[in-house]
């Protein structure tokens, strides 16, 4: 690190859990953020501010007026622009020394696999079950740690999946038949809730990079009661992703 970086990250370096070595790990790391909306916005911004050296931001949508209530990486001047490009510009403004790659595509199949191959940690900030299940499956196959987040109405969820520690995965929680395809457009969401969960995803991603994250624990946040509930997620023996027969 140069003198400017030492000053920028001085508050991290003061922490014994990070120190200079941990900060250098952040600088040398790549994080893939899938979805640049309510969750992906704060996640990408905090990862950039924390010094993660390479951010890959993927989203095929464009910025709409209704997004601005909660998707804080975007502003009125970004209306009509791709969310990946808008979020990348915001991240780059926060940390000009970071390498930021914008992918204005709906990642799936080979493209998703190749993006995961580049990453040390993946943050699933998407808003649909199909994407979440595919990301979970490929991350487990490729032994890449995954931080899952979700938020709707007044409830948020957070889960770290670490294939290297043989943790339970997202498929153990929801399968293809689960009726969880709710969205903010139909159910609504209190704006700061996505900030809470997205910021927590960034925090857990940094802990993954440091090797201190706790995988396989489902955290549920009730915004109206300001309460957290933590549940140990057990591996499902018949899970086609992480089960004993997979």
Position 242 in a domain:
no
| 206 located within any domain | yes
User: From the DSSP assignment, how many helices (H) and strands (E) are in the chain?
Assistant: 10, 8
**What order do you get walking across the sheet with 30-34 strand by strand?**
99-103, 54-58, 30-34, 121-124, 145-152, 155-161, 217-222, 227-232
143 domain residue, yes or no: yes
Nearest by Cα to 149 from 183, 130, 124, 184: 124
Residue 246 lies inside a defined structural domain of this protein: no
Q: Which of 219, 203, 184 is nearest to 70 (CA)?
A: 184
pLDDT tens string for the chain (246 positions)? 899 999 999 999 999 999 999 999 999 999 999 999 999 999 999 999 999 999 999 999 999 999 999 999 999 999 999 999 999 999 999 999 999 999 999 999 999 999 999 999 999 999 889 999 999 999 999 999 999 999 999 999 999 999 999 999 999 998 887 766 667 777 889 999 999 999 999 999 999 999 999 999 999 999 999 999 999 999 998 999 998 655
Catalytic residues: 184
Q: What is the pTM of this model?
A: 0.95
From residue 55, alpha-carbon distances to 52, 145, 168 in Å are: 7, 15, 26
Q: How many residues does the chain have?
A: 246
- CATH number of the CATH domain containing 108: 3.40.50.720
Report how many domains make up the chain.
1
Distance between CA atoms of residues 93 and 155, nearest Å: 31
Judge whether 241 lies within some domain.
Answer: no
> DSSP letter at 82?
B
Domain assignment of residue 226, given as a range: 3-232
Q: Is residue 240 part of a domain?
A: no
Judge whether 22 lies within some domain.
yes
Is 84 contained in some domain? yes
């Amino acid at each position: 690190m140069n003198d400017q970086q030492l000053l920028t990250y001085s508050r991290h370096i003061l922490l014994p859990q990070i120190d200079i070595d941990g900060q250098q790990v952040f600088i040398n790391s790549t994080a893939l953020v899938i979805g640049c909306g309510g969750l992906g916005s704060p996640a990408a911004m905090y990862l950039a501010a924390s010094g993660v050296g390479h951010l890959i931001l993927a989203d095929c949508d464009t910025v709409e007026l209704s997004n601005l209530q909660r998707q804080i990486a975007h502003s009125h001047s970004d209306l009509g622009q791709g969310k990946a490009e808008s979020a990348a510009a915001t991240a780059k403004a926060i940390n000009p020394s970071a390498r930021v790659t914008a992918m204005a595509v709906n990642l799936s199949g080979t493209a998703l696999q190749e993006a995961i191959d580049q990453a040390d940690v993946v943050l699933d900030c998407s808003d649909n079950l199909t994407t979440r299940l595919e990301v979970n499956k490929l991350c487990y196959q490729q032994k890449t740690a995954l931080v899952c987040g979700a938020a709707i109405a007044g409830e948020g969820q957070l889960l770290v999946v670490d294939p290297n520690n043989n943790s339970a995965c997202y498929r153990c929680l929801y399968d293809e038949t689960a009726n969880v395809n709710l969205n903010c457009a139909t159910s609504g969401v209190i704006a700061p809730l996505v900030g809470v969960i997205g910021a927590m995803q960034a925090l857990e991603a940094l802990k993954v990079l440091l090797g201190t994250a706790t995988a396989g624990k489902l955290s549920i946040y009730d915004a109206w009661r300001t309460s957290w509930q933590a549940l140990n997620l057990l591996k499902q023996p018949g899970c086609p992703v992480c089960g004993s027969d997979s």
